[in-house]
Amino acid sequence: MAAGGGGQVKAAGLSAEELDRVLFTTSAGVHGRPLAEFAVFGVLAGAKDLPRLRRQQDDREWSGRWTMGQVNQQTVLVLGLGGIGRVVAETLHALGATVIGTSRRDVTVTGVSTVVHPDRITEVAPTVDAVVNTLPGTEATEHLLGERFFGALRPGATLVNVGRGSVIDEAALIGALDSGRVGFAALDVFETEPLPAHSPLWDHDRVLVSPHTAALDAAEDRRIAELFAANATRLLDGHELLNRVNTVEFY
């Protein structure tokens, strides 16, 4: 049922013969719209400086006025252009943002002005105002966002994670938050879940913690059932299955 079901398949420890014999599929794409909304929520919260608004409200401080960021004037890096990333990119583009996407293949995606290989994200980091991760958790993506990336990032950038927690090196992220390199982080997923009580992310005034709940909506179960039924039909008819799990990289 999970969009990132490849991790469950890997954790099962199946033999090469079993992996070759069994076809695994996921619910990728079902959660695109809910996660895109959370991603936009995070980008908007960063642009409008939600931490400052929250802090001033808690202190009952009526400060002088200041210029807020405008998403329609920002460049957003969307990591991954799969089912979720494509909807995120399309939605941000509709708000006027310039979207840079990442893919290991030569693809054209609606709303994405430039596509770069994941190996080049540090090169484009100084040019972006916000980063949205939609990537799955694999060996290739583990700690993709670490000290090197955060060190290159434009100061004050917003970070949103709706992919997998393992993509972000949380120790490096905390350092980037403390230095102001990351101005705001909206996180729905974490390296360890539930997020340990001792994690500094809980108390950081520029972090929004969401308990891996951004993908849920009232129609989720129905959509997953419909997708499963469609795949069952494809299997019986001898057609290629949707969202087939890659049993080499497990995504």
**Does residue 6 fall inside a structural domain?**
yes
Q: Any catalytic annotation for residue 191?
A: no
- Residue 139 sits in which domain range? 32-209
Q: Are 81 and 107 in contact (CB under 8 A)?
A: yes
Q: How large a percentage of the chain has pLDDT more than 70?
A: 100
Q: Is the pLDDT of residue 175 over 90?
A: yes
One domain for residues 152 and 185: yes
Q: So what's the pLDDT on residue 94? A: 98
Q: Is the pLDDT of residue 80 over 90?
A: yes
Mean pLDDT of 178-190: 98
Q: So what's the pLDDT on residue 115? A: 98
* DSSP conformation class of 182: E
**Does residue 181 fall inside a structural domain?**
yes
Q: Is the pLDDT of residue 206 over 90?
A: yes
| Amino acid identity, position 249 | E
Q: Is the pLDDT of residue 83 over 90?
A: no
One domain for residues 198 and 246: no
Catalytic residue among 193, 222, 239, 244: 193
Work out the mean pLDDT of the chain and round it to a whole number: 96
Q: Any catalytic annotation for residue 65?
A: no
Mean pLDDT of 31-53: 97
Query: How far is it, in rounded angstroms, from Cα 120 to Cα 113?
Result: 16
Q: How many structural domains are present in the chain?
A: 2
Q: Is the pLDDT of residue 24 over 90?
A: yes
Local confidence band at 5 (pLDDT 50, 70, 90 cut-offs)? confident
pLDDT tens-digit profile of 107-148?
Answer: 999 999 999 999 999 999 999 999 999 999 999 999 999 999
One domain for residues 24 and 76: no
Query: How far is it, in rounded angstroms, from Cα 14 to Cα 246?
Result: 14
SS3 content of the chain, % helix, strand, coil (to 5): 40, 15, 45
One domain for residues 177 and 64: yes
pLDDT tens-digit profile of 211-243?
Answer: 999 999 999 999 999 999 999 999 999 999 999
Query: How far is it, in rounded angstroms, from Cα 132 to Cα 147?
Result: 17
One domain for residues 176 and 240: no
Q: Specify the 3-state DSSP secondary structure of 204.
A: coil
One domain for residues 51 and 175: yes
- Residue 164: CATH number of its domain: 3.40.50.720
**Does residue 223 fall inside a structural domain?**
yes
Q: Any catalytic annotation for residue 193?
A: yes
Q: Are 206 and 179 in contact (CB under 8 A)?
A: no
Catalytic residue among 31, 93, 164, 206: 164
pTM of the model: 0.93
Catalytic residue among 212, 220, 223, 234: 212
Local confidence band at 183 (pLDDT 50, 70, 90 cut-offs)? very high
